[in-house]
Structure 1
Amino acid sequence: MLEITGLSAGYGEALVLRDVSCRIAKGQVTALMGRNGMGKTTLLKTIMGLIRAQSGRINFDGASIETRPTHLISRAGIGYVPQGREIFDDFTVRDNLRLSLMGHDAATALPFDKIYGWFPILKERETQRAGTFSGGQQQILAIARALIAGPKLLLLDEPTEGIQPSIVQEIGLQLAKIARETGLSILVVEQNVEMVRILADQVMFMENGAIRESCDIATLRRDDALLHRYLSV
Structure 2
Amino acid sequence: MLEISNLNAGYGEVTVLRNFSCRIETGQVTALMGRNGMGKTTLMKSIMGLIPVKSGTIHLNGIQINGKETYKISRAGIGYVPQGREVFEQFTVAENLRLAALGSSLSNLDRLPQIHDWFPILKERHDQKAGTFSGGQQQVLAIARALMTGPEILLLDEPTEGIQPNIVHEISLQLARIARETGLTILVVEQNVDMVRTMADHILFMENGQLADQCSAEELRSDETLIHRYLSI
Shared fold (TM-score greater than 0.5)? yes
Q: CA deviation at 1:62?
A: 1.9
How many residues were matched structurally?
233
CA distance in 2, matches of 1:182, 1:221: 25
| SS in structure 1 at match of 2:122 | helix
Identity of aligned residues (%): 66
Question: Are the aligned partners of 2:98 and 2:109 in contact in 1 as well (CA < 8 Å)?
Answer: no
Aligned to 2:48: 48
User: Any residues of structure 2 matched to 1:149-228 within 5 Å, and which?
Assistant: 149-228=149-228
Is 2:121 the counterpart of 1:118? no
Q: Aligned partners of 2:178, 2:110: CA distance in 1, in Å?
A: 13
CA drift at 1:104: 1.4
Q: Give how far 1:64 is off.
A: 0.2
In structure 2, what is the Cα distance between the partners aligned to 1:130 and 1:155?
21
- 2: CA distance between counterparts of 1:104 and 1:112? 14
Moved more, 108-117 or 221-230: 108-117
C-alpha distance 62-229 of structure 1, shift in aligned 2 (>3 A):
same
Structure 2 counterpart SS, 1:91: coil
Per the TM alignment, residue 108 of structure 1 is displaced from its structure 2 partner at its CA by 5.6
Q: Is the 8 A contact 1:33 1:203 kept in 2?
A: yes
Partner Cα separation in structure 1 for residue 125 and residue 165 of structure 2: 22
1:111 deviates by: 1.9
CA deviation after TM superposition for structure 1 residue 110, in Å? 4.8
The answer to whether residue 71 in structure 2 is matched with residue 71 in structure 1 is yes
Q: Distance in 1 between matches of 2:106 and 2:187?
A: 24
Aligned-pair CA distance for 1:102:
2.5
Does the aligned pair in 1 maintain the 2:8–2:19 contact within 8 Å?
Answer: yes
1:23-34 map, 5 Å? 23-34=23-34
Q: Distance in 2 between matches of 1:180 and 1:3?
A: 21
Counterpart secondary structure, 2:102: coil
User: Which amino acid letter does the alignment assign opposite residue 179 of structure 1?
Assistant: A
Q: How many angstroms apart in 1 are the aligned matches of 2:60 and 2:22? A: 12
Shift in CA distance, 150/72, structure 1 to aligned 2, threshold 3 Å? same
**Residues 109 and 150, structure 1, Cα contact 8 Å, conserved in 2:** no
Q: Which amino acid aligns with 1:102?
A: L
Residues 9-24 of structure 1: pairs in structure 2 closer than 5 A = 9-24=9-24
The answer to whether the Cα contact below 8 Å between 1:75 and 1:103 also exists between their aligned partners in 2 is no
What is the one-letter code of the residue matched to 2:81?
V
Q: Mind listing any 5+ residue stretches in structure 1 that lack a counterpart? A: none
Partner of 2:229: 229
1-structure distance, mates of 2:11, 2:227: 28
Separation (CA, whole Å) in 1 of partners of 2:22 and 2:86: 28
CA–CA distance in 2 between the matches of 1:101 and 1:113? 13
* Letter matched to residue 10 of structure 1: G
Contact 2:32 2:189 in 1 (8 A): yes
Q: Which amino acid aligns with 1:207?
A: E
CA-CA distance at 1:121 after TM superposition:
0.5
Letter in 2 for 1:96: N
TM-score with structure 2 setting the length: 0.98
CA contact (8 A) 1:110 1:149 kept: no
The residue identity in structure 2 corresponding to 1:159 is P
1:93 and 1:84 map into 2 onto residues whose CA distance is 17
Q: Specify the alignment match of 1:133 in structure 2.
A: 133
Provide the rounded CA distance (Å) in 1 between the counterparts of 2:78 and 2:204.
20
- Does the residue aligned with 1:211 lie in a helix, a strand or coil? strand
